[in-house]
């Protein structure tokens, strides 16, 4: 039995966005009050409930990793990022429930954002973004055997460039603060931890 019993959940905001699939419910913001049965006291928190995201490291035929230069409204600026997207989901009893698998989302978002279709998608790891305020899970994948198709960006999505970089170039960009997106750094560093750097010519 759980130590905590939820006493009330009030949804204050629903983030909805237009897309190729119709209007998508992206996440909800709740005010939630729960009882701690061990001490008999209640706690109230603002919580973002989220269906999760898929982050994809596209590995080109020459071993470079494709990353994107994307405009972000919240920053009024651009970031170098791995392609990523929110799982389709629906609201159930004040929570967000994914209606597609992370790997399905990964394939869809990779194609839409970069124009690459993956012949094989490999799961790498799952992690939480900010568990102090939300339940969003990052599902990280590597995409192999890429075929170039067409980009199909969502309304309001601004991707300025998709370019391949070597491992050394990416590590240099991270060290210099040119890659600052957390999900991208986590995905890239974990990917590099699983593979050996290419041997350098003597």
CATH of residue 182: 3.90.79.10
| pLDDT value, residue 22 | 75
| Domain interval for residue 61 | 51-194
Give domain status of residue 59, yes or no: yes
Local structure of 19: helix, strand or coil: strand
Give domain status of residue 142, yes or no: yes
Give domain status of residue 21, yes or no: no
| pLDDT value, residue 202 | 40
- In the chain, how many domains are there? 1
- Own/partner contacts of 173-179, CB < 8 Å, gap of 24 or more, are 173/80, 178/80, 179/67, 179/79, 179/80
**CB neighbour list of residue 91: distance below 8 Å, 6 or more residues apart:** 11, 14, 25, 28, 97
Give domain status of residue 95, yes or no: yes
Give domain status of residue 12, yes or no: no
| pLDDT value, residue 191 | 97
Give domain status of residue 11, yes or no: no
The strand pair at 159-165 and 65-72 is best described as antiparallel
Give domain status of residue 100, yes or no: yes
Ranges under pLDDT 50 in the chain: 202
Give domain status of residue 10, yes or no: no
Taking only the tens place, the pLDDT of each residue in 71-83 is 999 999 999 999 9
The CA distance from 152 to 167, in Å, is 27
Q: What is the mean pLDDT of the chain?
A: 95
């Amino acid at each position: 039995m759980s130590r905590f019993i939820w006493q009330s959940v009030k949804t204050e905001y629903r983030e909805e966005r237009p897309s190729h699939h119709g209007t998508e419910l992206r996440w909800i913001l709740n005010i939630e009050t729960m009882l701690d049965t061990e001490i008999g006291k209640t706690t109230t928190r603002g919580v973002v409930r989220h269906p999760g995201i898929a982050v994809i490291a596209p590995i080109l035929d020459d071993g470079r990793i494709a990353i994107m230069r994307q405009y972000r409204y919240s920053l009024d600026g651009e970031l170098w990022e791995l392609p990523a997207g929110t799982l389709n989901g629906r609201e159930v009893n004040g929570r967000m429930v994914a209606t597609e698998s992370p790997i399905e989302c990964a394939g869809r978002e990779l194609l839409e954002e970069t124009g690459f279709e993956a012949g094989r998608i490999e799961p790498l790891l799952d992690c939480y973004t900010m568990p102090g305020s939300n339940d969003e899970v990052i599902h990280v994948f590597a995409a192999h055997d890429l075929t170039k198709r067409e980009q199909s960006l969502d309304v309001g999505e601004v991707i300025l460039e998709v370019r391949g970089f070597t491992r050394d170039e990416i590590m240099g960009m991270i060290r210099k603060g040119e890659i600052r997106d957390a999900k991208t750094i986590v995905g890239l560093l974990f990917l590099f931890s699983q593979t050996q750097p290419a041997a350098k010519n003597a």
